[in-house]
Amino acid sequence: MIAFGPVPSRRLGRSLGVNNIPDKVCSFACVYCQIGRTLRMELERRPFYEPELIFDEVRKKVEEARKRGERIDYVTFVPDGEPTLDANLGREAELLKTLGIPLAILTNSSLIWREEVREDLLKFDFVSLKVDAVSEDLWRKVDRPHKGLNLERILEGMLEFRKVFGGKVVTETMLVDGIDYGDEFERIADFLAELEPDIAYIATPTRPPAEEWVRPAKEEVINHAFQTFAGKLGEDRVEYLIGYEGNAFAFTGNVEEDLLGITSVHPMREEAVEEFLRKANADWGVVERLLVEGKLIELEYNGKRFYMRRLKSRGPAVR
């Protein structure tokens, strides 16, 4: 499923998702990833889909959503892997711009040291950069990057990009329990002060992660990060990204297709699925059938039940 939603986004309002990377090709293997384990660790950019195919899929979703009165605030690249691995990203952005909807992208920042990647990102209106750590040991522990990546080059690439990008830049720092952050928050805050994002988000895992041991950081750790970042950036530029985004998932025509499309990149809480089915005038039997057919799986996380499309990355670890 290339286009999905619109879905509720804590950063972007009503977001129509673009899944331009197959499950799960990435440059990181983050311990908290909601998609699951990385199946192919890659660094070299390559084409995955024809840009015209992506444009057509998104255009159809936009038309369906508009017919149903569904608002779309952003068309957002948020795929089953790292979006900047797509060699056609720039061309896809150019095509999608013609739809007249702002473009957003959520990237792990791993390839931003490459000039051609920065040039592609300039075509977007909103860019979210991952800054989970600025020290090597912690970065490798949490994000588990491709061995060919260099953290210093990545951080320098972010600063270079910020100098020339006229749109909105936000950062996202994911905090997980069981990690000794030491003075890392001070280090991250110093980097953010240099980067000057519009908003620095502090996040915790809210959906089932790749590794079962992962839990959201404790409240006092989250507060420590907030106070440290705010001390450098000001309180108005630091926000939490730790709440539930809500149940306002859009139905655009085919209940099974929409449900599988959304849950392939965005696990849905049980009450969100119930609300979605009500909007689609469908009953819970749809979910039960998809579970029996093995297309959907049920997961528990932090006392909540989630539903997700069955992906290879959710299977046993690849040895």
Contact partners, residue 141, CB within 8 Å, separation at least 6: 31, 179
Q: Is residue 56 part of a domain?
A: yes
Q: Is residue 301 part of a domain?
A: no
- For the chain, give the mean pLDDT: 87
Share of the chain above pLDDT 70, in %: 90
Q: Is residue 125 part of a domain?
A: yes
Task: Look up residue 8 and give its DSSP letter.
Answer: E
Q: Is residue 62 part of a domain?
A: yes
Is there a cis peptide before residue 316, judged by omega within 30 degrees of 0? no
Which pLDDT belongs to residue 318? 34
* Sequence letter at residue 290: L
Q: Is residue 278 part of a domain?
A: no
Q: What is the CATH number of the domain that holds 175?
A: 3.20.20.70
Which pLDDT belongs to residue 252? 58
Task: Report the alpha-carbon distance of residue 269 to residue 274 in Å, rounded.
Answer: 9
**Tally of domains in the chain:** 1
Q: What is the pLDDT of residues 194-251, one digit of tens each?
A: 999 999 998 888 777 888 888 888 878 888 898 899 899 998 898 877 654 555 565 6
By DSSP bridging, strand 199-203 and strand 3-9 are unpaired
Which range, of 21-25, 189-193, 265-269, averages the lowest pLDDT? 265-269
Q: Is residue 272 part of a domain?
A: no
- List the one residue out of 214, 216, 208, 242 whose CA is nearest residue 311: 208
Q: Is residue 302 part of a domain?
A: no
- List the one residue out of 91, 61, 87 whose CA is nearest residue 74: 61
Q: Is residue 67 part of a domain?
A: yes
74 pLDDT band (50/70/90 cuts)?
Answer: very high
User: Can you give the residue range of the structural domain that contains 239?
Assistant: 3-262
Is pLDDT at 178 greater than 60 in this prediction? yes
Cα atoms in the Cβ-side hemisphere of radius 13 Å centred on 110: 26
Q: Which two tokens stand for residue 114?
A: 């490459």
